[in-house]
Structure 1
């Protein structure tokens, strides 16, 4: 399985640092990308690459459909991550 995750429905209040702290609980975080819109705000989605597939699976189990900064986030494997991230 993939070790890169899609995280959706993120509040504008959530930062890369917030995501790094959250997902570090499942395993080592290698990278985090928050794509930006034309105004420089993140689009409410992120891509997180963890150290290995087991860590990614643990993160999905831990964080999918949980409330973060007032919104229920979705966490799944990232099958179609944009190339330019």
Structure 2
């Protein structure tokens, strides 16, 4: 399981995050997503630690903590949802059925 870290300063690096999280255990991986077009950091990251107890300790200690002038949002990462498919709502595609068509007569 990974940890989601949000509301990050745009100057944060992988190494900065490793330093903060290693206080709570072994950091296995840090992923800092960047914008495809600009290459700039997007303001959030994912941190993976060696076990769930360490992740829980880090979440408990860092959620809401102020770091680099920002209040961090730290919680368990949720699985990424599939894109596309049925998003619900609307009628999807053409027509909605029924209705009077004035132009037909």
TM-score normalised over the length of structure 1 = 0.89
Moved over 2 A (4+): 80-83
RMSD: 1.5
Distance in 1 (CA, whole Å) between partners of 2:68 and 2:81 is 25
Alignment CA distance shift 1:27-1:46 (3 Å):
same
Aligned to 2:62: 63
Which is greater in Rg? Answer: 2
Matches within 5 A, 1:1-85: 2=1, 4-37=2-35, 38-81=37-80
Cα distance, 1:80 vs structure 2 = 2.5
Cα distance, 1:15 vs structure 2 = 1.0
| Greater length-normalized contact order (CA 8 Å, ≥ 6 residues apart) | 1
Aligned partner of residue 23 in structure 2, secondary structure: coil
Number of equivalenced pairs: 81
Alignment CA distance shift 1:82-1:9 (3 Å):
farther
Aligned partner of residue 40 in structure 1, secondary structure: coil
Unaligned regions of 5+ residues in structure 1, if any?
none
Cα distance, 1:79 vs structure 2 = 1.2
